[in-house]
Amino acid sequence: MTRVAIIAAMPGELKPLVRGWPHSTRGTIRFWVLRNEEEEWIAACAGAGRDAAMRAFAGIEDGGPIDLVISIGWAGALNSQCEAGEAYNVAGVIDVRTGERFNCDAGAGQYWLATSPRVADETEKRRLASAYKTALVDMEAAAVARLASMRGIPFYAIKGVSDSLDAQLPDFNRFIDPNGQFQTPKFVLFALLRPWIWPSLIQMGENSRKASQSIAERLHELLDE
């Protein structure tokens, strides 16, 4: 049986894909599994950042060897060509902590992705675009790519744009705890007291919803191939 691992950070990134799949939770890891006689698709998310992505990978691997791994989720755009709400197949990933580069499977995509240890604001996005010549930024893909490379597993990444290059958003880093969990109650209280940020948050929410749907569509296309 072929086991396909699909790793995200947040449940919302997986929602359109895993609708109707059996669901379970183990600690901070959430799993969705779909099986037939020949294939097993296992989606998992454990939070934002490198360590959370590694936990999700390990959680899937506990069930047996992985034959294909795909990093999916929301990303920030580093140029104006990557449109908010759209998903893109990634050509390769750069870990900005170490400078390591990981190619996705041949012909997978057009744009390169930078993986950063923090949520990037507009200033950081422009720095990353200039320093690494990348078009997108996330917080998890490089960790997944490294584990896949160590095991000789084919690796793909599909990222949907939740925020454009010039999006004016609050600093989300202060609401992510050491385990990569987003502290929603704390953020809701913060946002309620700052109505001037509501329009940008509403727009990001709409972008994220569209991006998740686009990710699911591109993932189905990839797996059909």
What six digits make up the tokens of 115? Answer: 């993986």
Residue range 2-224 in CATH 3.40.50.1580: yes
| Residue (of 163, 110, 155) closest to 138 by Cα position | 163
| Residue (of 208, 216, 217) closest to 18 by Cα position | 216
CB-count exposure of residue 163 (10 Å: 0-12, 13-18, 19+): buried
The pLDDT, as a whole number, for residue 156 is: 95
Which residues of the chain fall below pLDDT 70? 106-108, 225
The pLDDT, as a whole number, for residue 105 is: 84
The pLDDT, as a whole number, for residue 106 is: 64
* Domain chopping of the chain, boundaries: 2-224
- Is pTM beyond 0.85? Reply is yes
The pLDDT, as a whole number, for residue 108 is: 66
The pLDDT, as a whole number, for residue 222 is: 80
The pLDDT, as a whole number, for residue 21 is: 97
The pLDDT, as a whole number, for residue 221 is: 86
